[in-house]
Amino acid sequence: MGRAPSTSGSSSELFDLDLEGAIELIKKSGARTVGVQVPEGLKRIAPDLAGEIEEKTGCEVIVSGDPCYGACDVDLDLCRAADLVIHVGHSEMLEGDRLFDKVVYVEARMRADVREAVERAADLLSARRVGVVTTVQHVHKLQDILEGLKGRGIEGVLRPGRRTRYSGQVLGCNYEAARNADVDEYLFVGTGQFHPLGVALATRKRVVAADPVTGSVSVIDIGPMLKRRYGAIARAGDAERIAVIVSKKPGQRRMDLARRMMSLGEEQGKRMVLVYLDRMEPDALVNLGVDAAVSTACPRIALDDQAKYPVPLLTPPEFEVLLGLRKGDYLLDEIE
Ligand code: SF4
């Protein structure tokens, strides 16, 4: 495991990348042209990575200049242009297409020590048996987390999910590993509030979040998120012309679901339009002149980025609420 090439002041200094393994694979494969795809938070290391791969393998390297948000977001054009593609930062997800066979995943592992944050989080946990969940950046710290909990007399439970590579790993679009734990309380270790909010919405159980970078711990409150989401549903109530968005990204493409949303809207007299796009941007909706949109793409777009959009952006379960077809607890949109 080598250090990520240093780019002064960038977040890359927080991560380790196993580039050596990828370089060995490139050499063995006989590839002449190698693509490199790097997520936005690590983009600044792409030139250094390209240089290192060129130097150590003699291959031509092409860096994807397009944004990359997850393992769902493999650059298929780059796969066509290159013999192998190094996809940095995410764990393997896609299979079943000849192009995906070209993709080598190089996960980014955060160096941050989790023990202090877990120690603080243990003070907030009330159950003696808790589900432990994290993102791929911290999966190598899961044993430290379990041991930290054990030291406080708490059993940590790890379970797998089908869309994720590691037990205990969650994605912004999938919380199966959390649901499978079948516990009354969760500890999420990682950065940001989106994933622990997702765990709480997906399980409806108490979630304590511990951030190993800032050391902060908190109990997740889903109230503000639910208020925002029901607000968006209410604002979409008067919409006459509604777009149903389908992403071209291979791990987000849910055409069948989109067609079902089209039919449900049309049955209720809405003017529906099916829109296929690679990158969801506010301007795309403005230019289409729609009053609202249903996004079948990455659920984070509607849940995290609504403020950027001039019209309400609903997830498929939220659209069903709008149409009066879904009652009861809020259902989080997940991709299986
Ligand atoms: S669909 Fe969204 S949350 Fe899921 S892996 Fe892709 S970018 Fe991440």
Domains 115-221 and 224-322 in one fold: yes
Separation of CA 137 and ligand 1 centre (Å): 14
Pocket test for ligand 1, best of 68, 87, 173, 278 (most atoms within 8 A of CB): 173
- CATH architecture type of domain 115-221: 3-Layer(aba) Sandwich (3.40)
**If the chain, 336 residues long, is cut into consecutive pieces of 10 residues, what is the mean pLDDT of each piece?**
41 80 96 96 93 97 96 96 97 88 94 96 98 97 98 98 96 97 96 97 98 96 98 96 97 97 97 96 92 97 95 98 96 97
Q: In what order do the strands lie in the sheet with 60-63?
A: 60-63, 33-37, 84-88, 103-106
Task: Please name the residue whose Cα sits nearest to atom 3 of ligand 1.
Answer: 172
Ligand 1 near 303 CB (within 6 A): no
- CATH architecture type of domain 224-322: 3-Layer(aba) Sandwich (3.40)
Assigned CATH class of 2-110 = alpha beta
- CA proximity to 229, closest of 306, 151, 298, 129: 306
**What's the first-to-final CA gap in the chain, in angstroms?**
31
Predicted TM-score of the model (pTM): 0.93
Domain-by-domain residue ranges, the chain?
A: 2-110, 115-221, 224-322
Q: Ligand 1: which atom is nearest the Cα of residue 171?
A: 3
pLDDT, residue 12, reads 55
On whether the CB atoms of residues 311 and 285 are closer than 8 A, the answer is yes
pLDDT, residue 9, reads 37
Task: Please name the residue whose Cα sits nearest to atom 5 of ligand 1.
Answer: 70
Separation of CA 172 and ligand 1 centre (Å): 6
Separation of CA 224 and ligand 1 centre (Å): 22
pLDDT, residue 217, reads 98
